[in-house]
Structures are given as C-alpha cells and as structure tokens.
Chain A
Amino acid sequence: MTDDATRTLGKGSIPPGPVPEGVIRLYSMRFCPYAHRTRLVLRAKGIRHEVININLRNKPEWYFTKHPFGQIPVLENSKCQLIYESVIACEYLDDAYPGRKLYPYDPYERARQKMLLELFYKVPHLTKECLVALRCGRDCTDLKLALRQEFCNLEEILGYQNTVFFGGDCISMIDYLFWPWFERLDVYGIADCVNHTPTLRLWIAAMKQDPTVCSLLTDKNTFLGFLNLYFQNNPAAFDYGLSC
C-alpha cells in the first residue's frame, strides 16, 4: 500500500489546513497518470510529503483556490506556494530538493531530455482516446496505429542511443515522465501496441525493476475496478480499492 492510499475529498469537505514545515503537499488522485509523474519524483528523491486525493467528479469548492480549473497534480509547500502542471512540478522538486538529481547536470543532456519529452506529447492523448474508444465499444484501429507509430519513434531513439533508459544507462527524469502511460497499456487493453518495439519492451521491463516505479505500481484488478466505476460515471471510482 502506498502513502497516498487515502479517501478523496469532495464537495462539502473541509479545506485542509496549512502545510506543516518540512513537508510538501501533493493534491493528487491515485489513478491519474499526470499526478503519478509527481509521485514518482517525490519517491525517487525521498522527499517528505503528504498526499491529498481529490474527487475529480465531485471537486471540493476550496480546491479551486489551489488550481483555477481544479486540475491535478498541484504541489503546495509550507510557504503556501502553489505549483502546477506535472512537468513544472517535477522540475521544481528536482531543483528545490537536495540529493539525487533526476535531470542531468550537463545543459546539453538536459536539453536532450526536454526534446525527448516533446516527442512524447501525442502519447497521453492517444492512449486515453484508445481507452475511451474500447470502453465505448468503438473501433480504435486508427488510434492504435497512430500510437504504434509514436512508439516506433521512441524505439528508434533507444536503438540509436543503445542505452537501457532514455537518459542513458541509469533511470532519470525523462523515464519517470514517460512511465505512467506505459504502466497503463495493459489495463487499458492496448498492450499489443508494443508488439513491434522490442527495445521499448526491454525498457518497460527495466522500469518495472526500478524500486521507485515498483513501489508505486497499482495492481491490475484495482485499476480495472476504478476504470469500471469511472466509465459508469460513479464518483466512488476514485476511492476504489481502499479498505477504510
């Protein structure tokens, strides 16, 4: 069980108090891939943090004071500073906290990771569209083709680099930024989209062995339970799998 296994806050909930010193708070949702990026970075860097899960179908009124459109993830520190957009939040954490740097030190290598992120930009949208199409019983052949093409591009890069991870031989920021969507391929029903990309499959296997990735893996049945309720528009979806 991860440290974010708490019930969501929804409409009518009491706004949380200020963030205690020495801790950073993440407004999140257990199944959101964007928030997953931030949770990976918090864990990888060993940053003391607390998680408040938000019910995205029944957002608390006070949450709009944290984000103008009520989106997640949002970081809040003990100085009441708010940071949003998952990539900006991840970079902020890497800059603000000591210890292991997830972005490389070399400016050119940093730029390369940011260019790789640009190459990835169609993947979140395409994976979501595939999921929705499959869940609504629609044909998603074209979508899957488009997604496979994106994966081919990533496969080419790994092949050209001849490294295990996208940033080199060790896992780094770019790998964590990509990971959440790859973790979801199976439960979304589109794992076959990596059938023609063996190097990408090796990367997936290597990622699953990373202690940080491992510690935040969501089990398939829990995820399916969430998806089933989510597509029935049931606001209880977000708390699926919590015992209390």
Chain B
Amino acid sequence: MKRQNVRTLSLIICTFTYLLVGAAVFDALESDNEMREEEKLKAEEIRLKGKYNITNEDYRQLELVIMQSEPHRAGVQWKFAGSFYFAITVITTIGYGHAAPGTDAGKAFCMFYAVLGIPLTLVMFQSLGERMNTFVKYLLKRIKKCCGMRSTEVSMENMVTVGFFSCMGTLCIGAAAFSQYEEWSFFHAYYYCFITLTTIGFGDYVALQTKGALQKKPLYVAFSFMYILVGLTVIGAFLNLVVLRFLTMNSEDERRDAEERASLAGNRNSMIIHIQEDSQHGRPRYKAEVTDLQSVCSCMCYRSHEYTSRVVSHQNSFSSKLNPQYFHSISYKIEEISPSTLKNSLFPSPVSSISPGLHSFTDNHRLMKRRKSI
C-alpha cells in the first residue's frame, strides 16, 4: 500500500486507541468522586428545599434563574473589554463559554467572525512562531560562538529543548500571576493556563470573572489578554518546530510521487525527441547514454569513478552537436513548450536527463535537509 495510506490508517488507529485509553482512565479517576459529589449535593438540595419550604415548581424556576444569572454575576460581559475577551476566545478557538452570544444576531455574527478569524489567527501564530524560532536559533548560534564551543551549529535537539522550556516557563509565569490575581491555588492556576494555551478552554476556570475585573482593573485585563496571545505564540512556535512538518508529510509524499512519475515520463519523451531529430547516431547508443547520465546523476554519491570516465565520452559527442543550427532548433523547440513540460524537455537529451536527475537530487537533498533541520 502507498506510504501515505499506511500512515493515515495508523494515525486513525492510534487516535482511536488513545481515546479509548483516555476514556478508561478518566472513568477510573472521576467516576467515584462524581457519585459521591452527586449524593452529597442532592442531599443538600433536599435539605434546603425542606428548610425554606420551596415548592418543586418554584425550585425549578429558581434553578433556571440562578443558572442564567451565572455570567451576569461574573461581571458585565459584553461591554468593549468583555467583547474583546470574547473575540479572543472565538478566533483562538479557546471558547470558554463564560459568555456566549444570547441574541440570534450575535450567534450568526459569531459564526462569520470565526470563519474568517480562525484561519487568520492560525496563520498569524505559525508565522510569528516561525520568526521566533529563527531568531532563537540565531541567538543560540551567537551564544555558542561566544562561549567558544567547537561546533556552533544549532541542532534540532537544542531547539526542542529551548522550546520546551519556554513553554514551561510561560505556563509557570501565568500560573504565578493568575493564582495571585484570581486567588486560585498555584496548581489550579497552572491548570487554567494549560487549558487556555492549548485552546481547549473548558471554562471551569476563567480569568477576569471576579470582582468586576473587566471594568475595574484595566491593567490586569491588558495583562490577561497579552498573556493569552503571547502564550499562544510560544506554544505555536513550539508546534511549528515540532508538529508542523508532520502535517505536510502526506502532501509532500504525493508531490514527490507525482514528480517521479513526471520525470519518468519526461525522460521517455526527451529520449524520443532526441532520437527523432538526430539520425547520425544509432538509437541504442543514445538510450545507453541517457540512462548512463541519469544513473550518474542519481548515483553521484557512490559512482564517481565510473561517472568521470563516462562523462568524458559524453562530452565529446555532445559538444560536436552544439553548433548554431542545432542551437536554433533547440530555441524553436523551446518556444512551443508549455511550462509543465518545460522542466523535462527544455534541453536535448543528455542535458535534460541531468535536470531531472539534478532536480531529484536537489529535491532529495532538500527533503533530507527538511527532515533533519528546522
């Protein structure tokens, strides 16, 4: 089976297994606690109902009122500061839900806003993240030079380590700040930062929801917004470094397959073109030459000796052909070639066989580079 298909199937199976395992573990961790909580709360409910003699009907109304009042209790959610906070949670896909559009018009606008905003934000964070990675790589190289280290190359491991510690640092800074301002424990604040910066955004912990912070503490509000955006950039940079290459793997394999198919077809074409126009040499000899050169290009690394001798003989035959008339025929051929075939048939056979050879060599080299470097 094609490599891409195998890869996709394995990923699907992995994810399903991961979900099953996760579900089992969460069940084990939370179920008991849930049962106990529920019993306690239900008992409390009955007690309070009896204490205040509230009818079932009225209690249901009370429930509704209380649940609907929850966002209002947390503050004014839709003035500019609150709306900005909401807009952030939409386009970054965090989506706490601490405030959600109540009007239908708000819901509709929210959807349109998300359709444009989410791709914009994705691209922006990846772009900025890549810039940050490049800058960090440059800094690290300078530091290595200054420290007088022997190899000043910045390896992938270096970058991943730096990225990982930046993420940890960002989470810890946020945890310290929010545990101070929101009066959460450090662990809960850390959990909040983690859930926010991974854009999961449960909404069980939400900043700026106590003591009317959105309206009364502009500095804290500004800090929260900056923290969320900068934190997402740091996480985005780490993802750009580690994960992004895997997102494009299938497409690159497809492209490489297509190019291989095209170059194979192109070589066949170029051989035909050459054979047709030049009847001086026998066909087998030319085919052999072309194949030789191709193999030369692709095996340049480990056939240099044979290559050298072959190349000399080829050079002889080739240069004898390069006279003005031949040249004009080439130009003429070039005129009518469309861009898609240009790469493979632009130059007559030995040369064109080099270009795909060189090209796939560069391509392979580039791909190798891609896998190894940042």
Please indicate whether A and B come from the same complex rather than being unrelated chains.
no
